[in-house]
Amino acid sequence: MPYLFTSESVSEGHPDKIADQISDALIDNFLAWDPDSRVAVETLVTTGQVVLAGEVKSNTYLDIPQITRDVIRRIGYTKSAYMFEADSCGILSAIHEQSADIHQGVNRENKEDQGAGDQGIMFGYANNETENYMPLALDLSHKLLIELAALRRENKDITYLRPDAKSQVTIEYDNDHKPLRIDTIVISTQHDDFDTEPTMLEKIKADIINILIPRVKKGLKPELQNLFTDGIKYHINPTGKFVIGGPHGDTGLTGRKVIVDTYGGKGGHGGGAFSGKDPSKVDRSGAYATRHIAKNLVAAGVADEILVQVSYAIGVKDPMGIYVNTYGTSKLDISDSAIAAKIEEMFDMTPYGIETRLGLRNPIYSETAAYGHMGRKPKSVTKSFKNTLGEEKTVEVELFTWEKLDYVEKIKQAFNI
């Protein structure tokens, strides 16, 4: 029997995502000047205020208020009417040194013996619904908001957009779990105030359907474009008005959008957030490593859909175990547990091994903090950083290394595919 599945996304101007981006900007700045930095930073944003708290062990000092203001400005909070503005918001920093108890459990004289920065379970997932091996409903939800942000910055075809926005896509699947059509699209976008509310809502809905949707469809493969039928139900700003938004409309916190950050409800999630954590925190690095494994397994033809779980104890370098679930889609004549055993042989899943394999001690995290940590395109970029002494450093880094399909051939050889 056909069924419906829904995923959501939130824009870079959503309060929780502002918090994530500030936290990850601080991570990048610490790692740029001291790659061995240990950082766990949480951010809270509300009307006219930013509060930073957390633990840091690093050899560098940063202009934390300036970094914070730069992030807020880049997102687009540059007008006093938003009640949260880059140059005028108050910033309170309550960041202190990392606990010596945690530090002694992680640091080792031999870096290869580095212990996990926390206990926990992490999941990686991939399927073959999309070119980037991501669940389709989430992928479309992200694409809607990425394009909406582009329209806001262009300020040409749509001139009233403000930074805060959310999306949601519901897809109908057949009995074989193949997408049939898009059932519902929800878009809630913050906007300037209009003179008349009925006209405002009609214009926003028309612009979303006639401007945004065609731009998103244009970038999709024909088979995905065909899912956009005339029967789609649209809920555009369903409350009727969305002028008050951002941190003025809702307090934001780091790590509160973990399902948006990962797989939109498909697969699994261990519960730990990513943003604001250096890679010694396996909540982050373990999730990236398992995504890397799952994506390469699906791309190699091991299965159509794969979930990989890894677990750790704080201060212990080797994982407690690796679990694999192919949901009955495996193409191999071996069990899922045998696939897991082969993965343990192929991939070094110690914290140091993951950091080294994926280059996670580089300042690569600001780009992950909006529109999902998974399913993104690996690329090299040049980034510049300044410290409190006025020194400037320019580094070239590779983003989203866990999305590389660099183990496909190795996997095919290992499994005789």
273 is in an annotated binding site: yes
3-state secondary structure of 323: strand
Indicate the burial class of 369 (C-beta count within 10 angstroms; 0-12, 13-18, 19 or more).
buried
47 touches 83 (CB < 8 A) = yes
367 is in an annotated binding site: no
For residue 231, give both structure tokens. Answer: 């029967």
217 is in an annotated binding site: no
For residue 33, give both structure tokens. Answer: 């000047």
3-state secondary structure of 398: strand
First vs last C-alpha separation in the chain: 33
69 is in an annotated binding site: no
111 is in an annotated binding site: no
3-state secondary structure of 135: coil
3-state secondary structure of 226: coil
Residue whose token pair is 């690329």:
379
Most distant CA atoms of the chain, gap in Å: 67
277 is in an annotated binding site: yes
Cα dist from 128 to 295, 296, 302, whole Å = 9, 11, 11
Cα dist from 220 to 47, 101, 180, whole Å = 38, 50, 16
42 is in an annotated binding site: yes
Indicate the burial class of 8 (C-beta count within 10 angstroms; 0-12, 13-18, 19 or more).
buried
242 is in an annotated binding site: yes
Indicate the burial class of 117 (C-beta count within 10 angstroms; 0-12, 13-18, 19 or more).
buried
191 is in an annotated binding site: no
* DSSP at 205: H
55 is in an annotated binding site: yes
Amino acid identity of residue 306, one-letter, is I
Cα dist from 202 to 6, 155, 194, 207, whole Å = 25, 19, 11, 9
Strand ranges, E, within 174-304:
179-191, 233-236, 252-253
For residue 88, give both structure tokens. Answer: 């005028």
85 is in an annotated binding site: no
Binding residues for ATP: 14, 164-166, 241-242, 250, 256-257, 273, 277
Q: Binding site for L-methionine: what residues are annotated?
A: 55, 98, 250, 281
Per the annotation, where are the binding residues? 14, 16, 42, 55, 98, 164-166, 241-242, 250, 256-257, 273, 277, 281
Residue stretches of the annotated binding site for Mg(2+): 16
Q: Which residues line the annotated binding site for K(+)? A: 42
